[in-house]
A and B are shown apart, each in its own frame.
Chain A
Amino acid sequence: MISIFGTTITAASPWLLLGIPCALGFLVYIFRVRGTAQQAVVSSLLFLKELPRRPVGRKTFVPPLQFWLELAILTLLLLAVSGLYLARSGKHVAVVVDSSLSMGALYGSGGTRLEQAKRIATLDIQRAPSSTTYTVFSSTKDLTPLSQPHESATEALTTVQGAQQSHRADVLQQHLASLVGDTQYDAVWVYTDRELQNYQPSQRLVVNQLPIDPSTSTNAWIQGIHVESSGTLTVKVGYGGASPKDAVLDGECFDGPSASLAKLPAQTLRLAPHAATTAPLTPSRTNWGYCRVHIKLQDSSLFDALPLDNEGWIANEPTEPSVNLVSSLSAEQLGLTKVKTITVSTETQKDSSQKLPTIYHRTVPQTVPTTSSLVVFPPVGALPWGGTVETQGAQGREVTRWDASHPVLQYVNPSLVTFPEVRPLECPPSATPILFSTGGPIACAGEEKGARYLITGFELFPFEGSRNPTISIFTLNAFKWLFQSSGTTTAGELPTRLSLPESIVEAGYIHPENLKLTLEGSSIAPPAPGVIELQDEDGTARYLALNSFEEQESDLSRRSALSLPAPAPRVSTTSSPTTSRSLLSVLSLVALLVIGADLTRRILRRVRWGDA
């Protein structure tokens, strides 16, 4: 181990470094004895052999350039074979701060859980040896490094203090195992409020679980908002606490950013622990642009531990929902560009984190979809959600009966339609057949896992508008029922990236506070729930409401369990080379053997240097 200018250089096999002086001696020998001599052919060595033998060039040895080149090559190869590398004197620690929604809960009188976690992390970093380096991660949507690798303690402290509260669920369960298995980290320090399972304290994985007082885990949160066709807001409220409590649900609606607000009539709710309570709120005006609803516990002896999830937002501005298309044909070929009520994107362009409603054209999803889905004309024998069934025999093309009360069939008279090709369907158990032919049901609609779906056993596309009014109205009804039933609010988790129509030129939060958003192409990265105003090219403004309904995070009384990976054997970069380094050593060894064989060949065959 050698230290030069503060950098420590060491080798995995230091004894191999002895080969360097050996190589020097070896080269000097062969250059002196063999290398510099000129060959001369003589008729016979009959008399020359009797002369006193003296090696040639002994006194006049001047190493040629080739000598130095070969010495350099041998030295470098020996250094590589010995596994020479720059060693760090300190450990490299991955600091993972859980900044998920639940970490925004109040923690006694000392701020939030996140701030408490930062305090503990700060203490840990300050106590660690000064040679330790850090990489700080935040457990938000992805395990995002907040810092550059190998930050010093001072830099790491600054980074930890700068960790921002997120409104999303944490991803510790998905990424912690890979982080622990990463050999570039000597230790992983985790700061979280989650319940730990299988935790075996080790030097490799240190999890700091924030001690939580159960009495400070009471929380009420908005679980969902929906606009009924009557204009009434249906608000779903969740509650986590020891006993039923009263809460006040109120809110206000706005016409625009500068317009006056109209308060929603407050309602008192009786919240039951671990049960959702639904309450209607009716705006006094019908032409509201967006609304905010708010839940507040009434019991003065309690405090709502997590205020971040007490608000919900909904926008009334009709927008074109983005729909993903899974088809061998383009949206243009299917005529979907003529449909003004949806915006179609292809699957390849879709952000993987974004769950868009989807149209499956002549194909079926292989799993039960979690978003609204329209399955059009699935292949023969293909079952929805995967699998196949034997092909049916005769297929009737005549519609025999239908469920006229279903919204999809509103204003539609199927008896007027003769389909060129019809495939009777095997409807899923949760589906209701809404259209029948002589061969069986040809359209099924249903709801599963909170997402609506519609399967048609006939072709809807290409969309021809007024040229084929019955099918067109059926298609538009289907789009409305599937993709616009939840109003304009994006329900569920807060997306990390949101695609917008290309006509949008400006976007920015107007509630809860004004914040300009940067348009990256035609998408934005919303950091928090709220209402976003979208400015169109023609100057018209539209509103987009974003919420973060994360029950796992909001229900503080039921802490989600974090199953920890088994502690891996301690693997330190300071004591053993990585796989790539081992490969380099093997390759260097091969090169060294080749050069060694060449030098030996020169000696045995008396090859002059430069003749090889």
Chain B
Amino acid sequence: MALDARTLRLLDTFALRTRRSFYGARQGTHRSQRRGHGVEFAEYRSYELGDNPRYIDWNLYARSDKIYVKRYLEEETVSVFMVIDGSRSLTHPALQLKWHAAANLTTCASYIALASHDPVTVSVLGGHQSPQFWGPRSFAPLGAFLDSEGKHLIEGAPAKIDIVEAARIAATRVRFPGICVVISDFLYPLEEVVTMLSSFRSRNMEIHAVQMLGAQDIDPNPASGGSTLVDSETGEEIGLSLDPSAREHYARKLKEHTEAIRQHCLSAQIHFVPAVAREPLAENSISILSEMGLFV
């Protein structure tokens, strides 16, 4: 998944921003929950045996005759966990634009994270989980991983995926809580969506849910006169005549479903971002990144 030079220049202007602080694995640029030896003062603490005398505040000792040590906020990296729905609703050959949009968004977000030396892990639900990528030089392997997964899922034999179970397994592999970006069309029953998101939330992560819909998901308007509609996930078929009233009915149902997910995310402190997969992918990804508020 290569990005052109113009997109990379645009992405260089972005930086990863977290709302919360996390424990990081390495020294980084994000405020950590760990107290240590940063530059930003955090608090005073009574001196205890073993503390380094360098951090004793001698002025305060002169005023109060008590020995205190100064504590500073540690700055560490933040783990970025990108989760892409690899089910057939995104990877079916007829719907693969959604996958490409999701993969492109993942690439862009990862580029920003890797540029600030934050570790990135990509997990494809129904596919594989990548190793943890560190540093800007890992950008190319990450792109290759996404290309490989895309090819495998789009061109491979279709398989039924239990999205809830796949999400649960992916969440168990998180080593350091951090930012989790879940990209899916969320066209599942609401209970399954809630369960899927809860799997990541239970790992104490800052979750951003991106609903990547296709144009045909928003307005299913195939051939005039009628169509046999095939479910990309199950292969189930129904014959329907999608006249304007039926399409209006469908749009209302989709809106209700999206709103229900939004309400859940709001209550669960999950940042929900609706998005539509469209060309050109890079511009579409930057637009979504801007909307997510995660990258500034």
Option from B230, B236, B257 in Cβ contact (under 8 Å) with A40: B230
Option from A37, A43, A50, A54 in Cβ contact (under 8 Å) with B228: A37
Closest to A50 in B: B253
A42 in contact with B220 given A51-B246, A56-B239, A606-B237 (CB within 8 Å): yes
A42 in contact with B225 given A33-B239, A48-B240 (CB within 8 Å): no
A44 in contact with B95 given A37-B227, A53-B238, A55-B239 (CB within 8 Å): no
- B240–A53 contact, CB under 8 A? yes
Option from B92, B220, B228, B250 in Cβ contact (under 8 Å) with A39: B228
A52 in contact with B246 given A42-B217, A44-B89 (CB within 8 Å): yes
- A41–B232 contact, CB under 8 A? yes
A40 in contact with B253 given A48-B240, A56-B228 (CB within 8 Å): no
Chain A residues, Cβ within 8 Å of B237: 39, 606
Chain A residues, Cβ within 8 Å of B223: 38, 40
The complex places the Cα of A50 from the Cα of B240 at a distance, in Å, of: 11
Option from A42, A46, A50, A60 in Cβ contact (under 8 Å) with B230: A42
Chain A residues, Cβ within 8 Å of B246: 51-52
- B238–A49 contact, CB under 8 A? yes
A60 in contact with B238 given A41-B94, A46-B189 (CB within 8 Å): no
- A43–B185 contact, CB under 8 A? yes
Interface of B is mostly: mixed
The complex places the Cα of A41 from the Cα of B249 at a distance, in Å, of: 19
Q: Does B266 contact A (CB under 8 A)?
A: no
Chain A residues, Cβ within 8 Å of B225: 56-57, 60
Size of chain A's interface in residues, with CB distance under 8 A? 27
Q: Does A47 contact B (CB under 8 A)?
A: yes
Q: Does B254 contact A (CB under 8 A)?
A: yes
Chain A residues, Cβ within 8 Å of B216: 42-43
Chain B residues, Cβ within 8 Å of A52: 246, 249
Interface string of B185-207 (1 = CB under 8 A from A): 10111000000000000000000
Interface string of A2-23 (1 = CB under 8 A from B): 0000000000000000000000
Chain A residues, Cβ within 8 Å of B233: 43-44
Interface string of A129-171 (1 = CB under 8 A from B): 0000000000000000000000000000000000000000000
Q: Does A45 contact B (CB under 8 A)?
A: yes
Chain A residues, Cβ within 8 Å of B230: 39-42
Which residues 157-197 in B have Cβ within 8 Å of A in the complex? 185, 187-189
- A48–B229 contact, CB under 8 A? yes
Chain B residues, Cβ within 8 Å of A45: 229, 231, 234, 236, 238
A265 CB to nearest B CB, Å: 111
The complex places the Cα of A38 from the Cα of B237 at a distance, in Å, of: 11
Chain A residues, Cβ within 8 Å of B92: 41, 43
- A54–B240 contact, CB under 8 A? yes
Interface string of B237-269 (1 = CB under 8 A from A): 111110000100110011001000000000000
> Can you spell out 27 A-B residue pairs with CB atoms less than 8 angstroms apart?
A33-B239, A38-B222, A38-B223, A38-B226, A40-B220, A40-B223, A40-B229, A41-B92, A41-B232, A43-B90, A43-B98, A43-B185, A43-B217, A44-B89, A44-B233, A45-B234, A46-B189, A47-B250, A48-B229, A48-B250, A54-B239, A55-B241, A56-B227, A57-B225, A60-B225, A60-B226, A606-B228
Please give 12 more A-B residue pairs, beta carbons under 8 A apart, in addition to A47-B250, A55-B241: A37-B226, A38-B226, A39-B237, A40-B227, A42-B217, A42-B231, A43-B89, A43-B92, A43-B187, A45-B238, A46-B189, A606-B228
4 pairs of A and B residues whose beta carbons are closest in the complex = A56-B226, A40-B222, A43-B89, A47-B253
